[in-house]
Structure 1
Amino acid sequence: MNKLSGNPKIMKEVNSGLIKQVLKEKTTATRAEIVKYTGISTTTVRTLIEELIIDKEIVSVGYDDSSGGRRAERYALNLRNRFSLSFYMDDRNINYATYNQLGDIVEKKSIKAEGKSIYEFIEDMFKVYKIKAIGIGVSGVVNKGNFFSGRNLNNWSKSNVGEYLSEKYNIPVILENDLNAIALGFSMNYIKEMKEVDINSLNLAYINFTKIGVGAGIIANGKLVRGENNFAGELGFIPIGTEGHLIKVLNNNPDDKSYVKIIAQVIATVNCIINPAFIVVGGDSLRRNLIEDIKEECKTYVPNNINPKIIMSEDSSDDYLDGIAYLTNEAMNSGIKLIKNEIK
């Protein structure tokens, strides 16, 4: 266990997180077991357990059988007291999921927006759940609770939705670029199917083609790549010869032959920069009927020994929501994520 130092408030949050981590991994535990697994003193564990019970973050689930002495009380996370809310909006729908502290899905739905603002939607969700963290997927560049979006380099609008919600509800609010969330969610779901792939060494790019932009979520050695100004992956602004930026060239509706060449060059460019094992392509404007031609054309630009596996995404909606939910649950359990060693 790493020794941490700092002000009392930080140490209290870290120690509380360690206790909740034990209860998350072990389901239930006694005080003695918590002391053993965390290395926190008996006195501190007793004090923090009392506070966590008062705050309704943990509950008593009864006593162990007596072995001759005083029976030990056993504790568990209060799964009815802490929920995360993750969502994103498309043209017509609000797609959302709520999770408990263990990361289990409580509810997952897509509902008609019908003119409802995200603020009204969130208020409605607070009436049903005790929400302790919110995650929102956005199309744009995220920066410290704000995000910026636009179709050209000189006319971007700013939204402070993250800052506003965090201040209003006094809880963590995570904004994440849509492609970063999709790349993360795809990686998690793909690894469940391909057990030989290790998330910690994963190198992947998820390229999404839409009428309003071309973007990529990038994972290098198991970590999301955001860049200095969170601009990494904004492929729509790649210059293509003298014709302008990539999104402009694609919106000019090139013929199939030209389209195949352009997309193959984009894939080759991404491959040269980050050398991913997988490049996933998707989006509502991708010409899916040309995917095999694109793969063949890529061989023109990429040496055989470093050719990534190209995968076509059929539907990114679940990946999108799963990626946001993962980041939101991390924020809800912020004390837990400070742990570097798994509890044995």
Structure 2
Amino acid sequence: MDLLNIGYYNNETVVKPELIKRMNMGLIYKVLISRSSATRGEISKETQISLTTVRTLLEELKENGDVIELKLDESSGGRRAQRYTINPEKNLILTFCVDNGEIIYKISDLLSNVKEEGNINAIENNIDILINFMLEKKGEWDICSVGIGVPGIVKEKHFYISKGFNIWHINKMGQEIQEKLNIPVILENDLNAIAYGYVIDKVCEFNDISVKSSNIVYIHFNNSCIGAGIIVDGRIVHGNNKFAGELGFLPWKDGKNINEILKYSTYEECVELIARIISILNCVINPSLVVVGGDNENIKNMNLEIIYKYVKRYISDIMMPNIALAENDTKYYLEGLTHLTARNYIENI
């Protein structure tokens, strides 16, 4: 379907040509990102946009410097087709997270090629340091969007951190940064970003996982709390009030929740807790992969053999998900955040 040739939807609502043009451009971006490069014919076939429209839009994107030409394809008997790709110097993505007073960041193009990465010292609550850092990077690179990973419940440009039952601290970092930088800014919960990073990284390792149909859970154990990032059919599960994955608030036994139980768990109790949590999530979501990670000392001393041994008490072989121990959370954190930020940018073109 060629959106540029549609004037009406449901014979009632007129669709503005400029909006349709931007929608078609978004589709072209998606093809170039998914394929890394494509010819006009490949783009037209995949998007159902006419060749004439594809040619026109590619010429405009090329003039703006958003798209560049690659070498001509090999001839198959006819005219050699021109191949196009995203300009690696334009429309870059800046993603970062703040951890223990340190900014860990990455600048990537829309094809996820890293242009720069590193870390700098910063005070987590000093928004001016963060904004000055981003303004500096925006001056050095053509940054089109910013993705920020935060430890809390994200609601648009704000996030909430629990300070006790019914006590919440509200941080408006995202709103302040967007106002200063004047480019799109997204916030995402840290565990959701890590889970999505595993989706991107693990699709080649497990044959039954693909990005669009992936069902993955990342469970993070600190010494005093448990949370999870949940991916169902390739999409992050945020929940009605954005509280999905807050496993630590699950009621457990003796009137206590899981967070309270975890604080005083021995090694054996911790393994048992993991096994039960995995079995509960498996019954509800039936994920392809469960990744276990975190800073909890008991978790650091575990191996897959002991986890599988306990999990098999509750899950039959036919229902058993793949289980993995987290390797490098920061890597998956920024990788997932980069993909989510790029996707948000393209979807809002």
Instruction: Report the TM-score range of the alignment, normalised by the length of the smaller protein.
Output: 0.7 to 0.9
CA distance in 2 between counterparts of 1:42 and 1:125 reads 38
Which residue of structure 2 lines up, in the alignment, with residue 178 of structure 1?
190
**Pair 1:266 & 2:245 matched:** no
- Check the 8 A contact 1:149/1:156 in 2, yes or no: yes
Which residue of structure 2 lines up, in the alignment, with residue 110 of structure 1?
119
- Count, aligned residues: 327
Shift of 1:214: 1.0
Which residue of structure 2 lines up, in the alignment, with residue 17 of structure 1?
26
Amino acid aligned to 1:209: F
- Check the 8 A contact 1:216/1:234 in 2, yes or no: yes
Map 1:47-196 onto structure 2 (within 5 A).
48=57, 52=61, 55-58=64-67, 77-113=86-122, 117-196=129-208
CA shift digits 1:162-218 (9 cap, x unpaired): 233333333221211111111111121112333453333322211000135211111
CA pair 315-306 structure 1, distance change in 2 beyond 3 A:
same
Shift of 1:128: 1.1
CA RMSD of aligned residues (A): 3.3
CA distance in 1 between counterparts of 2:83 and 2:320 reads 54
Which residue of structure 2 lines up, in the alignment, with residue 328 of structure 1?
341
Which residue of structure 1 lines up, in the alignment, with residue 223 of structure 2?
211
Gaps of 5+ in 2: 10-14, 74-80
Name the stretch that deviates more: 135-144 or 95-104: 95-104
CA distance in 2 between counterparts of 1:29 and 1:194 reads 31
Name the stretch that deviates more: 131-140 or 269-278: 269-278
CA distance in 1 between counterparts of 2:267 and 2:297 reads 11
CA shift digits 1:8-49 (9 cap, x unpaired): 33212113334445665474767x997787634747954x56
Which residue of structure 2 lines up, in the alignment, with residue 340 of structure 1?
none
CA distance in 2 between counterparts of 1:44 and 1:279 reads 41
3-state secondary structure, aligned to 1:157: strand
**Percent of residue pairs bearing the same amino acid type:** 35
- Check the 8 A contact 1:94/1:113 in 2, yes or no: yes
Larger relative contact order (Cα-Cα within 8 Å, sequence gap ≥ 6): 1
TM-score by length of 1: 0.81
CA distance in 2 between counterparts of 1:49 and 1:224 reads 32
CA pair 302-158 structure 1, distance change in 2 beyond 3 A:
same
CA distance in 2 between counterparts of 1:76 and 1:189 reads 22
**Pair 1:299 & 2:308 matched:** no
CA distance in 1 between counterparts of 2:142 and 2:182 reads 13
CA distance in 1 between counterparts of 2:68 and 2:111 reads 15
Which residue of structure 2 lines up, in the alignment, with residue 280 of structure 1?
291
Amino acid aligned to 1:250: L
Which residue of structure 1 lines up, in the alignment, with residue 239 of structure 2?
227
- Check the 8 A contact 1:96/1:109 in 2, yes or no: yes
- Check the 8 A contact 1:151/1:212 in 2, yes or no: no
CA pair 175-154 structure 1, distance change in 2 beyond 3 A:
same
CA pair 29-254 structure 1, distance change in 2 beyond 3 A:
closer
CA distance in 2 between counterparts of 1:181 and 1:138 reads 9
- Check the 8 A contact 1:279/1:311 in 2, yes or no: yes
